[in-house]
Chain A
Amino acid sequence: MLKVLIPTIMLFPTIWLSSPKWLWTETTAHSLLIALVSLTWLKWTSETGWAVSNMYLATDPLSTPLLVLTCWLLPLMILASQNHINPEPISRQRLYITLLASLQTFLIMAFGATEMIMFYIMFEATLIPTLIIITRWGNQTERLNAGTYFLFYTLAGSLPLLVALLLLQQSTGTLSMLILQYSQPCTLQSWGHKIWWAGCLIAFLVKMPLYGVHLWLPKAHVEPPVAGSMVLAAVLLKLGGCGMIRMMVMLDPLSKELAYPFIILALWGIIMTGSICLRQADLKSLIAYSSVSHMALVAGGILVQTPWGFTGAIILMIAHGLVSSALFCLANTAYERTHSRTMILARGLQMIFPLTAVWWFVANLSNLALPPLPNLMGELMIITTMFNWSPWTITLTGTGTLITAGYSLYLFLMSQRGPAPSHIMGLSPFHTREHLLMVMHLVPVLLLITKPELMWGWCH
């Protein structure tokens, strides 16, 4: 763990001491090296459930793929931000990369945490750099509204979590997940205990987001610059998923009855947010709502608490993280050229950017869960486990899959096909950097087809 954490902390001196000519090269190279070192975590040598570095930082089959995803994403974020940050003075550029690096540090410590309270503190700490990125570097005036919604929805959800964790500490004497996984399932009957159950989960459900409390997500994904959108979609939503899987271990007997409202909200949310996607005029907003739809599937898979559910949830989280981030990068390429997120403005792009049309194609096919990509494998496992939970869910999840295919194809056809309008002809061609960015997003997704055991959680 330290072999990744210390280089990440040393990223701060790298940022502030590099000469301006070499800043972006050095930070990209440094973060790429961290990403390559983090791949060593994938070699699983521990006999126990956890590969423990010390008492407070450990990796297990749930957090390992998420940690590798987080470390992989930092060089991609820095690559993607080069163009739009370029006009700004050098110290502001350094500040921007510092925010990304600090976000990375908090995320590594959050995913690697063994104490629930450390997870909670890091969970909250990631809010601050993200808030600064959204409200300071966003492009429209709505960014203030977006930052407010983002901050206060998440805080309102996580304050009950703090209280619940303190109560747990009071009753069991420890919050270390290494110990809590062996605690006895407690019979909890009273209303207070039910509220405690809800308090444990609501923070993560707001973060994921669940359908009823998802309102912060379209705003918070649309307003920030590309790096903010990438990290939000790819990693921060998965913090909620990871937290939920961790908490589920301790919440067992009550969850059978109390999970119903949330499972139903998640399932209905798949259909509702999918349908909203079909009505969107704004490109990034469509990708944001599709994130809600996929994460609702993940939430449903986690809440039914079966091994297949957890496995499907982890696979879908990783695959969705990479693909959603890729889509935001593609949307950013269109935004940098037309300075507008309107879909009908940047249409017919296939005629002018044929290679980019390939990336759009692959990213949209991944989004609609084409076999044999891991998106489908995760969705299929979750749909199967929900079918086992109750056969009637297949109506909702099946319709949801259909609508997902519908809006993904709509996105592809709207942006790529059709006659190219005359104002598109003069757009500047694609940089190698942008193609590299897309390859680095999509090749891991394709490679994960060959070795999905890396993502299977505890089922290997």
Chain B
Amino acid sequence: MIHSLFLINSSGDIFLEKHWKSVVSRSVCDYFFEAQERATEAENVPPVIPTPHHYLLSVYRHKIFFVAVIQTEVPPLFVIEFLHRVVDTFQDYFGVCSEPVIKDNVVVVYEVLEEMLDNGFPLATESNILKELIKPPTILRTVVNTITGSTNVGDQLPTGQLSVVPWRRTGVKYTNNEAYFDVIEEIDAIIDKSGSTVTAEIQGVIDACVKLTGMPDLTLSFMNPRLLDDVSFHPCVRFKRWESERILSFIPPDGNFRLLSYHVSAQNLVAIPVYVKHNISFRDSSSLGRFEITVGPKQTMGKTIEGVMVTSQMPKGVLNMSLTPSQGTHTFDPVTKMLSWDVGKINPQKLPSLKGTMSLQAGASKPDENPTINLQFKIQQLAISGLKVNRLDMYGEKYKPFKGIKYMTKAGKFQVRT
């Protein structure tokens, strides 16, 4: 099981270590540093590194490497999933997960890590339970603690820990009972030169924020549940009812959680809401290249596309770019060769465009590769797959909760080849 955890920042300093079994010398991280050096970028460090006596499994998030050390045959996905859970927990506790924040809260971090694993076995990873065991730091509590001498460690066994609904604590009370659900869909797509779709898929999630008193039992039904044939549920969802009736029936955890994630890959169901017209050309012999891109909406069901951001990694041979956008702002970093254009909203009457020239290295042959354009955007009040929630009912409690559903579509890994 998981032996030790090292937190390493991008400059290669180990700034936190935690051991759940015997202490493993931090020199084991040298193997990691070697791999880090070999990989040109932090993202490319392989997630599994063998060393003579240990295995190092790592995830890279928020510019921090979380390196777990294991000694025996352990399912690597289990370790990696756990590491991601650690990061999520930190984020949940402290709002952000960064080196200074972790250092600021080192004792809480240490206590939390101790609660999460015992002898390398996961003990409590549900944030509901963790928060009962170790209270997250707030300014108020810190002040109170200093004055009264009380602690931020709970001295009662968390009630949820052993019940049949381990994800929910008992005795929850709210004055305003409310349940919000966000249906968020991300489109991953590759569009080829000619504008036709190479692949497109939707990764959808339903994130919930449920603040309900007592032990509410919710059911959520969809207008078109047939869309959901590839789903992953939060453990609270009763799988049998989904199988037989296509209804989500569950006792929700308290607070924020991800109820469900789903995947729509059938090509005909994935609408592509934007198009990019591009004309990027390099000429042999000339040290100037032409650059022109236009972004426009299609298949948006009348909704506005906002937060459009275009980025593109230009070839090494490009020295500089002189461009004029019809709207928004753009930057080109001559060192990293990264072009980014913050477009904002797309007005269908006046399509945003970015035109100009690129100056190329004199004398060098024209670049072999064409830059790929990366697109970010957001569409409010639309789930691009067409998924629609039919109704939400609550059983088991008497009060009337306030219910809300929001839809949003975002670009995930949306790439246009040129």
Say if A and B assemble together: no
Q: Which residues of A contact B (CB under 8 A)?
A: none
